[in-house]
Amino acid sequence: MPLLWIARASLVSRAVAYRVPPDWLARPTLENYVSIFANQDFARYFVTSLAVCGLGATIAIVVGGLAAYGISRAKANSGGLVVALLSGQLFPRIALIIPIYTIMRFLGLYDNFWVMVLTYLSFMLPAAAIVLVPFFGSIPIAFEEAATVDGASRLDVLVRIIVPIAAPGMAAAWVFAFVLGWNEFLFPLFLGGREMQLLTVSISAFVTQRGVEIGPVAAGTMVAIVPALLLFFVARRYLIHGLAAGGVRA
């Protein structure tokens, strides 16, 4: 119902959107969608958000994947390493933003694309690693031992054997990390400015002193839902394949 309500509000005028009881038969219009793309820098914010979240999720998978592989193959204290990763998710965002904001202001790196990507890694990377640990752990170590006997190096084993087997899990972890960044609000609010504004903050800008521009807010929300919704459908398929592969033991 909330999703249907937002979709309806995005297709009607402000007067109709606030009408009680709701007028479900009101004539739909695309004015709100036209206004956010024509009169705002909404398209630029949308592309910037895709770039930040996509690049951040990719780095998180590469670095977090190496960490997850090492943890899954650790002979001792792997539980402590997992707890260390979880600690990165336990801190509330606001506790991290204040020191990061102070440091970035001091270094003159405020409102910067690469700084935004790096700060997003503070929660993307541990999340991706936590998701990948059980996927790597489900791969029988006998595969690696057989490849090592055949003369393969550790890097060859990782690239040619482990990564292809764990690819569904890595895809699911990438989508999970991407959606975490896509829904983030506090980091871009504090660390972004005129040049580096992301989609979540740009949607909130339609809440003005004159009131809520309900039509543009709803239209922007519907546009923002599309990438995450598509990725979730893709992730569902890969996650099922990954769980099935992880259940096989040699």
Q: Where are the domains of the chain?
A: 40-246
Mean pLDDT of the 142-157 span? 82
Q: Provide the pLDDT confidence category of residue 249 given band limits of 50, 70 and 90.
A: very low
Per-residue model confidence as pLDDT tens digits over 203-229: 888 877 777 788 888 888 999 998 888
- Please tell me the distance from the alpha carbon of residue 163 to that of residue 69, in angstroms, as a whole number: 10
The burial class, CB within 10 Å (0-12 / 13-18 / 19+), for 249 is exposed
State the CB neighbour count (10 A cutoff) for residue 229: 11
Both tokens of 148, joined, read 């090592």
Say what the pTM is.
0.84
- Please tell me the distance from the alpha carbon of residue 142 to that of residue 244, in angstroms, as a whole number: 19
Residue 18 or residue 223, greater confidence: 223
Q: Position of tokens 């002979």?
A: 75
CATH of 40-246, one of 1.20.1080.10, 1.10.1040.10, 1.10.150.20, 1.10.3720.10: 1.10.3720.10
Q: Which of 187, 222, 240, 234 is nearest to 5 (CA)?
A: 222
- Please tell me the distance from the alpha carbon of residue 177 to that of residue 228, in angstroms, as a whole number: 11
With 50 as the cut, is the pLDDT of residue 246 above it?
no
Both tokens of 164, joined, read 């292809």
Q: Provide the pLDDT confidence category of residue 56 given band limits of 50, 70 and 90.
A: very high
Cite the beta strand spans of the chain per DSSP E: 207-208, 211-212
**Hey, is 191 helix, strand or coil?**
helix
Sign of the dihedral through C-alpha 163, 127, 189, 215: positive
